[in-house]
Structure 1
């Protein structure tokens, strides 16, 4: 039965009724006055310029009725308007579930994952399958009203398409409905991927004060910006540009098409590259590795440096030399710090923990470059950014293949980080990109805030053993032994 809506306007002693008759949740005619019918739960009260608005959720035996609503709009003059969106529910409907919530959640998520995989817009260099997330308590019992009234599990999932609501019959387990309920949108942008030195395979390129030169123009790449909130800003599921030199980029049609001579270019870079990172992390099966909209401030620091601030959970990209936001490896490195801070609260309380953080950031930049770099000197970190402060070729801030061991510790986190990044890079080569990153990220969950090289290595080996068996654990152990960590 279609919903019926009635509006009642009361002014003084006169009452005017407009609309149609309607049935209550139990199928009987509700009260004729503006008083609230039974079976409603007040969920929101709002005040506007003209009055107050009371929104109610229709319930049946304490369970919410999907899409069942009732609203009272009380004007300042005393008028009352009623919006009734309740559905009829038979009094005999049994609300005892036969299908467990876990079964319903698994069924719903399988459908969401399959649809996200079919619908994704991704180039072959970023071919990932976003995996939905269903947190504890995501499945809730509810009722669907109308002629086919029934008890359902209302399952909320997340995927690269956004937030999805699935309705699973609580008696039979059949999937009744699955639809995206969030307002995410796709947009277009222009980026370097990962940076001009790599994409053009040219160590001779220079910054030239942000000029869009003939040599640098071919490095620009048109991309799809997924998971945007659709509010005309670079804000989405995994990234939020909160501040930027010259103002935050805005586009009513979500087309953020700027070249490097425009300060907004680096905002697009941060959005695109971090979104790519999170889609990749989700493809590995992780749903709680900085799974949030990470705040970025772009070109707001005049120096040639970028940093992650754990006190505000914000990444700031500097504009000294080559604008740091022009090099995806700088973005990925800083995002590595945000990953550690998210997974291990208070991370970095010891010198070696700090070195692990720097080493992981370098490694993460390199592993994220693998699909787009065509094997161009992969262990070289931040090839483009480094052109402004290095004179020798190749231009690298640091490398992940220096050969350093714990014999070379100098108690400086960036230098000592090369010991850790080399170990991770060897694991990458031994296990392959995806297996290595599953092992490395899983091990991170067991770090202490003040972890040491040895302790972090041991939990990483354990993660390899549990995920992939003794042979994989042996390869990980060998990588750490080669750096004299174990």
Structure 2
């Protein structure tokens, strides 16, 4: 509707309606086309992919995209809605970053169509640089010393970011040295490296139940080069392990034999009950590498059961995820989208000794499952959202674990990975932490303030997202906030733009509408605005052009409703409210006595006056004395 100064629609009247129009606007930096409530309904009992194609058929002609080749790619089912993602192709070659998402609720109402498809493409799809040469160029650009983690994957793509499109080789290469899941675009005509980034989701390490510091209320504990001490041995707690089918830590939700993970400096699958007979007991101390395998198993198994049994999501990363408790000797942990596994390092405090670290990395796996291709690019807002979500997930799950005295002292419940941080952290509120989820700076103890509007370092920027979620948590509570966060991910697409924060907040609001009827919309927006994750743009009220008021319409008559959109941005959406309730033009209960009334009389001798006898309202009536022409002198 760009350029138009009015909006109109025609409605068939079936009764008398009062009509009002309001405008809503999500912010000033929009990416792509987001059509909210397009007025399309589908059969909620039909196959989601079939419904997605029906929606596209309705939408394509009106939006001018009927010439674009869209191929179904992802179908996801949330608690309250269905989500179908299509990928655009050009002459049988996928177009990078070009998606169309369809989202509809369980009543069949289409909630959102998000269109990021690209028009105007015109190019040859025959490469001048062969795949072997592109791989050689990529090897040099990465500086590969050791592969070991897997073979590269290479395919042609259309890069739509320049002119009418550019043919590129997309290469994904998991390497051991330098460690990375490398993602590159190589110009298929000239052989130039266009993009290169490492997609590993790194973080420093954390672990116990949830970690030694939180469990013991003792921030003075130290690693002592992975040595056993009486205090650290006593910090262990005995917990049941569920889902084991044998004498190895392999279950329905986590696999400590690390199936599919290669290149580790130590073997996986070490932990086993020495006597080999059930029930199995995995009783090891921290100087034994088998100890950390037990912690990883318990943390992930418990989290997935919580997601299913408490939060009610049965299709979020519901698999046995491979995990290696001693992958390498660095003080880092990471999730790999290549082998779909978790990898923990042994530098400093062993990463797999802090459940906050484990669950943070599991958060990356959750996002990759809900939104395949999540976090494309390197220094992006969407990657920052992933870091903030991982912190918040760990903090919320471990909120009531360990020592309550520790958690309740100076809001230490908001500290993440205190045990891992003993080797590098700065004391804040009496403890060290990797990060805090309440907006506290982990080095100064001051509030981090508001987002600058431009991405910087993803872990630093992720603090704004976790602070926003914590703000919502303070009002809604843990389970309701986690449900909103998880449901909202289904509404997102891979996003390397600087609008990812805004898009994610919009998804949270849409998830709230799906789950709660929109009851928390204002609070979500307030928490996001507090951290400058969305802009608040005041809008002028739309003014009616037709009907202008006073018209009389009959049932069955077509009525055109038109209103001005002057001064309202193109991205604004309008809502129309109808009601069959006729509000009175005048109301006065007369309790204020005359309260501005002018009184007179046309018959009789005296003016009307307020009195408190024979009243019809709670305490007053109007009375005219001495008139033989008034049947009831009290009004």
SS at match of 1:378: helix
Is the Cα–Cα contact under 8 Å of residues 268 and 325 in structure 2 kept in the other structure?
Answer: no
Matches within 5 A, 1:5-44: none
User: What is the rounded CA distance, in whole Å, between the counterparts of 1:395 and 1:439 in structure 2?
Assistant: 30
**1:485: Cα distance to partner?**
1.1
TM-score (norm 1): 0.59
Check if 1:395 corresponds to 2:432. yes
Q: Is the CA contact 1:246–1:263 (under 8 Å) kept in the aligned structure 2?
A: no
Give the conservation status (yes or no) of the 8 Å contact 2:509–2:518: no
CA distance in 2, matches of 1:404, 1:445: 29
- Higher-Rg structure is 2
How many Å separate the matches in 2 of 1:461 and 1:391? 36
- How far, CA to CA, are the matches of 2:469 and 2:335 in structure 1? 22
Give 1:410 deviation, angstroms.
Answer: 5.0
Picking from 472, 475, 492, the partner of 1:427 is 472
- Over aligned residues, Cα RMSD in angstroms? 2.0
Separation in 2, partners of 1:346, 1:329: 24
Deviation at 1:352, TM superposition (A): 0.6
Which structure is richer in relative contact order (CA contacts within 8 A, separation 6 or more)?
A: 2
The alignment status of 1:466 with 2:514, answered yes or no, reads yes
Residue 334 of structure 1, aligned match among 361, 367, 371: 361
Pick aligned residue for 1:215 from 225, 228, 231: 231
Say which SS state the counterpart of residue 229 (structure 2) adopts.
coil
Compute the displacement of 1:199 (Å): 1.1
- State the alpha-carbon separation in 1 of the partners of residues 370 and 455 from structure 2: 27
Q: Does 1:449 align with 2:494?
A: yes
Matches of 2:486 and 2:227, distance apart in 1: 39
Structure 1 unaligned residues grouped into runs of 5+: 1-101, 103-132, 134-190
- Superimposed CA distance per residue, residues 271-302 of structure 1 (whole angstroms, 9 cap, x where no aligned partner): 00001100110021101110000100111210
Shift of 1:379: 1.4
Secondary structure of the residue aligned to 1:330 is: helix
Instruction: Tell me the residue number matched to 1:385.
Output: 420
Q: What is the rounded CA distance, in whole Å, between the counterparts of 1:218 and 1:447 in structure 2?
A: 44
User: What is the CA distance between 1:246 and its match in structure 2?
Assistant: 5.0
Q: Distance in 1 between matches of 2:518 and 2:455?
A: 33
Provide Cα deviations, 1:186-220, integer angstroms capped at 9, x if missing partner: xxxxx821011111111110011222212222210
Give yes or no for the alignment of 1:259 onto 2:285.
yes
Q: Contact 1:360 / 1:420 at 8 angstroms: preserved in 2?
A: yes
Larger helix fraction of residues: 1
SS of the residue corresponding to residue 297 of structure 1 reads strand
Mapping of residues 272-311 of structure 1, within 5 Å: 272-283=298-309, 284-311=311-338
Correspondence for 1:235 among 250, 258, 274: 250
* C-alpha distance 242-305 of structure 1, shift in aligned 2 (>3 A): same
Please point out which of 317, 326, 344 is paired with 1:317: 344
Provide the C-alpha distance between the structure 2 equivalents of 1:224 and 1:289, rounded to a whole number of angstroms.
Answer: 23
Is the 1:267–1:298 contact (alpha carbons within 8 Å) kept by the matching residues of 2?
Answer: yes
Once the two structures are TM-superposed, the CA of residue 388 in structure 1 deviates from its matched residue by: 1.0
Structure 1 position 426, deviation (Å) = 1.2
SS in 2 for 1:317: strand
Question: Is the Cα contact below 8 Å between 2:268 and 2:326 reproduced in 1?
Answer: no
Counterpart position of 1:99? none
Equivalent pair of 2:453/2:532 in contact (CA under 8 Å) = no
Partner of 2:272: 250
The residue number in structure 1 matching 2:544 is none
The 2-side partners of 1:232 and 1:218 are apart by 25
Distance 2:354 2:237 in 1: 13
User: Helix, strand or coil for the counterpart of 1:242?
Assistant: coil
Figure out how many residues of one structure are paired with residues of the other and give that number.
298
Q: Distance in 1 between matches of 2:397 and 2:483?
A: 13
Do the aligned residues in 1 keep the contact of 2:300 with 2:362 (CA within 8 Å)?
yes
Superposition TM-score, scaled by structure 2 size: 0.45
Distance in 1, matches of 2:511 and 2:426, equals 41
CA–CA distance in structure 1, aligned partners of residues 341 and 308 of structure 2 = 21
Which of 511, 519, 533 aligns to 1:485? It is 533
Which residue number corresponds to residue 13 of structure 2?
none
Find 1:352's aligned residue among 376, 381, 385. 381
**Contact preservation (8 Å) 2:282, 2:294:** yes
How big is each residue's C-alpha offset from its partner over 1:336-361, in whole Å with a ceiling of 9 and x where there is no partner? 00000011011001401110011111
Asked whether the 8 Å contact 1:408–1:416 carries over to 2, the reply is no
SS in 2 for 1:282: helix
Instruction: Check the 8 A contact 2:335/2:361 in 1, yes or no.
Output: yes
Segments of 5+ residues of structure 2 without an aligned counterpart are: 1-44, 46-78, 80-206, 259-263, 440-447, 535-635
Whole-Å separation in 1 of the counterparts to 2:501 and 2:317: 23
Report matched runs for 1:354-369 at 5 Å: 354-369=383-398
Kept after mapping to 1: 8 A contact 2:422/2:432 = yes
- Distance (whole Å) between structure 2 residues aligned to residue 217 and residue 324 of structure 1: 17
Listed as ranges, the matches of 1:44-59 within 5 Å are: none
> For residue 83 of structure 1, what is the aligned residue in structure 2?
none
SS in 2 for 1:194: coil
3-state SS of 1:471 partner: coil
Find the residue that maps to 1:212 and give its secondary structure: coil
